[in-house]
Structure 1
């Protein structure tokens, strides 16, 4: 309903469907420039993420490198860290006032331009943010490939590079297209990185432009902003449509069940490859986290980091003294937790319908799953604008307003993150024997009893995994809540961004460090819980 209202506001004029509102928006100088910047950053960062993520997935999935599970877990952490926290960490790691670089004696000259405040900086960090996404998709595809063709080629004398070029990559072509589309759409809707790096460099993208207009002018500009949001949503949906068309043309049918992946022996090259993987983890995870921590442990940004300047005052401030941060932690925990629980229940119902024998149920499940994928592809700021359009006035009949409350943020999370909750449940449902449900029906069990006594207990571990993934995603996010928060209803993401934007760098670093630790702790808990789940439910478990 909110997205339909957005389409009506952005694609109709006097009741008739027309592109005139979008064309009017494109007449201004700022919108075309922001559109070009969005497409530019999304394309090149998606391309870089595709190359890096695919290379790492091939190494992890097809070679005999050691500690695969540990490397996979560490490489996926940047994906779970919020983009604005990633941007803050890298800003503090590479800038002239970086405590870490000052301690090492390699900081840039004071007063020099920050190297990341540029188009290249935005593209680089978007690539780092979305490279794990590509890695995860390609790695899952490698696990699902039957390996008879690869073994036959190797028996025939083909070298590993020839096998890769002639067999593996052609078979992966549909997955590579999907991975690039996913990275492109994710970068297209990213707000945190372009906001923190692009605004100082005057490199404005469409999500940042939407935020600037609504933040500066308020709800009065909703009509004009809706046209820009509809344009952004149309681009995302068009990319997904092109992806599906290309998938249909490049898909190669395979015969044979998934088997354990190959372990091509690297021989003397294995230590070098493992060292390169360790350096990649150090560059993408350890360096920014250390920079974030060192900034959080100094009294003022710019002060050198040493034993005499270390202080825990910033952590004490954000954890015990600042009411806004305490409220933000409580709000995010409550809203993300409730959204995760709600989506777990919805995902179980949709998963049941997707695997039902009855065509009506199956079609309903397919329609809901398709809608979930569509809303996940649409940028979060577009969803938030749609919810503002839908709920800026009191709800008819009951005359209750949820605008400027946590309820509207929670509903937006349900809309945006259903796809995340659905994926592990769908994977688990595919492994269920339909005879269980049929036997219960023959015994006279009605729908709700079958759901409660048979289906729900079997799917509960996967649903819990999906709920935790939703919680991890929503707990620190900023894209959806950037336009929906209000005083008293702050979230962790908006509070961190406001600290950094307001110049309270050390407080932003302390709060970011706490959220990173919380994210890693939740991922470790999910990893431990994943031992009891079907294979593939927890993405990084090999």
Structure 2
């Protein structure tokens, strides 16, 4: 055995690293390999032919791909425009209420995407597909089909959800632009417009490109919004077509579409990484505060534009959802109000006898299942992420690099595709274990796999703030590896790891794209129940459940950020 390998195996971090590698191989590499392997047998090869080159290809691939690209491009462009404008206004100008606008601009990403879609439907739904119309139609306003269903409302709704990504990325980049550069440009007589176009814009162009590509990739892979606002009029994307294939038993074609969706998302995010790496140097040797632009007479206009964006994306959806849950007639003010959809007992004259969401045993069971799933995933994922992050920093590069790479891979896989991969791997006997499809544990496995990137990055950031001297002192005192991890490092990094666990909890509580592929009637969850109610026309119940998820998600997200002690660029005076 080579000496270098022998030395590596004797390191204290080697055993934890091997455990983390084995877990990631089973949870990440295994499902992907199983997904590919499932398409290489005779039926799988036939499915490849059906999807890529057959009379069915147009319906199976090209039309959904076209829908995905339209939605992705629209979401990416609109998100980066809105996010960049808000970032500029919040970070570089003297606009009033900057901090408030900055906080509100980060909230939409914590809101479930289907919450905004349901709010849109409550306002703009028309009578094209039957059922109860939206608030505008109830007031006598004729809503065009293009505004009620299809690509446009899907794109606008996704933009309202994902512009937060572009805002955060661009705001961080603008905050790093040295104030001395802007001041020097102004001293030369350059106008505000010239400073913005010739200095600030080139400096943040890579961040804007990254924000665009992130929003594009998220838009392409989102399932909930196209399903709610597109499927009723047969507007398909790759994610909805993939879900339709697997949910109807056509798994081979579904697995092929999953691989193609993964490739599209991975290509987009790889391009974004390459683009982000080509940055412009704007940080000088001396620290300098970002110089704020005096808006002058334009201040009210900029403030009005910023408030309009954050109110439309953050406050109005919550108001619409809340108001719709107390209307006796769906989306109609003339029927009066009622609390039945929250606390009412079964009444055959209302919602086909469904109880209010707070007293319905099925909903309460879904609450319990959601909390149990989110808590289980959060605890296990953060433990695994912590172990992987610590091992990656204390093992040879070939081990640490493998850990980092495997931990990052799930970020490239859309939720629907990851769900399909988990089904392909764990929906049959694996390593001597029985199939876990249809059980609670396949949800846990899928949730851990999807959450690993965030847990790894959060743990690595927390561990980076801890001096190695603590570990050296523990070793000199005779503490072993596991004792050092559990009794010293974990308590010291508790704020970061607990904050990370809280955000993993939120992600699982509001996620639909992943769990919709894995859930069964035996394992009800709030997000899936809300989607089912919305699909069946029980609008008030769906909106009430979604409002509960939204309140929990936003509250826990804000608490987690406070716990982690994050300081945003717009918080500096």
CA distance in structure 2 between the aligned counterparts of 1:251 and 1:384, rounded to whole angstroms? 39
CA distance, structure 1, for counterparts of residue 200 and residue 468 of structure 2: 34
1:43-64: CA deviation from partner (whole Å, max 9, x where unpaired): 2211111111111111111112
Runs of 5+ unmatched residues, structure 1: none
Q: CA RMSD in A?
A: 2.8
Note the C-alpha offset of 1:325: 1.3
Q: Does the CA-based 8 Å contact 1:145-1:258 persist in structure 2?
A: no
Q: Which residue of 2 aligns with 1:350?
A: 388
Residue number among 470, 489, 494 corresponding to 1:460 in the alignment: 494
Mapped partners of 1:78, 1:331: distance in 2: 25
Mapped pair 1:226 → 2:255: yes
Q: In 1, are the aligned partners of 2:511 and 2:527 still within 8 Å (CA)?
A: yes
Give how far 1:260 is off. 4.2
Map 1:99-248 → 2, pairs under 5 A: 100-101=135-136, 105=139, 107-109=140-142, 113=145, 115-216=147-248, 218=249, 221-248=250-277
- 1:269-325 alpha-carbon deviations (Å, 9 max, x no partner): 3333222222222222222222212211012314325xx711111012343332221
Alignment pair present for 1:292 and 2:321: yes
Deviations 1:243-273 (A, max 9, x none): 2333344564854476543332223433332
445, 464, 478: which is aligned to 1:411? 445
- Pick aligned residue for 1:312 from 317, 327, 339: 339
Structure 1 match to 2:92: 62
Pairwise CA distance, 1:35: 1.1
> Bigger CA drift: 341-350 or 250-259?
250-259
Q: 1:388 to 1:236 in 2, by over 3 A?
A: same
Alpha-carbon separation, structure 1, partners of 2:290 and 2:404: 29
Q: 1:457 to 1:179 in 2, by over 3 A?
A: same
The equivalent of 2:422 in structure 1 is 387
Which residue matches 1:81?
A: 111
Q: How many angstroms apart in 1 are the aligned matches of 2:380 and 2:286?
A: 34
**TM-aligned CA distance change 1:364 to 1:69, over 3 Å:** farther
Distance 1:355 1:326, change over 3 A: same
Counterpart in 1 of 2:403?
368
The answer to whether the 8 A contact 2:210-2:272 is kept is: yes
Name structure 2 gaps, 5 residues minimum.
1-29, 127-131, 344-354
Where do 1:266-277 residues align within 5 Å?
266-277=295-306
Q: Which residue of 2 is the match for residue 282 of structure 1?
A: 311
Q: Confirm or deny: 8 A CA contact 1:354 1:365 kept in the other structure.
A: yes
- The alignment status of 1:46 with 2:76, answered yes or no, reads yes
Q: Distance in 2 between matches of 1:500 and 1:235?
A: 29
Residues 332 and 476, structure 1, Cα contact 8 Å, conserved in 2:
no
Q: Does 1:526 align with 2:560?
A: yes
Distance 1:257 1:447 in 2: 41
The Cα of 1:417 is off from its aligned counterpart by 1.8
Q: CA deviation at 1:525?
A: 2.8
Q: Secondary structure at the match of 2:298?
A: helix
Structure 1, residues 24-43: CA drift from partner, whole Å, max 9, x if none? Answer: 31232212111111122112
User: Relative to 1, partners in 2 of residues 1:426 and 1:170: Cα closer, same or farther, differing over 3 Å?
Assistant: farther
What is the Cα deviation at residue 100 of structure 1? 5.0
Q: C-alpha distance in 2, partners of 1:309/1:280?
A: 31
In the alignment, is the contact (CA less than 8 A) between 1:300 and 1:506 conserved in 2? no
- Correspondence for 1:401: 435
Q: How does 1:458-497 map to 2 (within 5 A)?
A: 458-497=492-531
Compared with structure 1, are the counterparts of its residues 303 and 143 closer, same or farther at alpha carbon in structure 2 (3 Å cutoff)? same
Distance 1:146 1:432 in 2: 29
Partner of 2:16: none
Q: 3-state SS of the aligned residue for 2:38?
A: helix
Distance 2:285 2:492 in 1: 27
**2:125–2:134 CA contact under 8 A, matched in 1:** no
1:500 aligns with 534
Alpha carbons 2:499, 2:561 under 8 Å: kept: no
- Is contact 2:342–2:544 with CA below 8 Å preserved after alignment? yes
Q: Per the alignment, in what secondary structure is the counterpart of residue 309 of structure 1?
A: strand
Distance 2:446 2:243 in 1: 16
Per the alignment, residue 51 of structure 2 pairs with: 25
Seen in structure 2, the aligned counterparts of structure 1 residues 524 and 177 have a Cα distance that, compared at 3 Å, is: closer
After TM superposition, give the deviation of residue 121 of structure 1 in Å: 1.4
Which is worse superposed, 228-237 or 317-326?
Answer: 317-326
Structure 2 residue matching 1:483: 3-state secondary structure: helix
Q: Decide whether the 8 Å contact of 2:135 with 2:332 is kept in 1.
A: no
Task: Quote the residue 1:331 is aligned against.
Answer: 369
Tell me how far apart the structure 2 counterparts of residues 540 and 450 of structure 1 sit (CA, whole Å). Answer: 38
Q: Which moved more, 1:267-276 or 1:492-501?
A: 267-276
Compare 511-520 and 178-187 and name the one that shifted more.
Answer: 511-520
Following TM superposition, by how much is the alpha carbon of 1:72 offset from its aligned partner in structure 2, in angstroms?
2.1
| TM superposition score normalised by structure 2 | 0.84
Instruction: Calculate the TM-score normalised by the size of structure 1.
Output: 0.88
Q: State yes or no: 1:91 paired with 2:117.
A: no
Report deviation, 1:20. 7.8
Is the partner of 1:200 in helix, strand or coil? helix
Question: Secondary structure, in 3 states, of the residue corresponding to 1:320?
Answer: coil
Distance 1:423 1:319 in 2: 37
1:5-20 matches, cutoff 5 A = 5-10=34-39, 12-13=40-41
Secondary structure at the aligned position of 2:233 is classed as: coil
Take 1:366 and 1:172, find their aligned partners in 2: how far apart are those partners?
29
Rate the CA distance shift 1:351–1:62 in 2: closer, same or farther, 3 A.
Answer: farther
The alignment partner of 2:201 has SS state of: helix
Change (3 A) 1:467 1:165: same
Given that residues 78 and 285 in structure 1 are in contact (C-alpha distance below 8 angstroms), is that contact kept between their aligned partners in structure 2? yes
Question: What is the CA–CA distance in structure 2 between the aligned matches of 1:123 and 1:4, rounded to whole Å?
Answer: 33
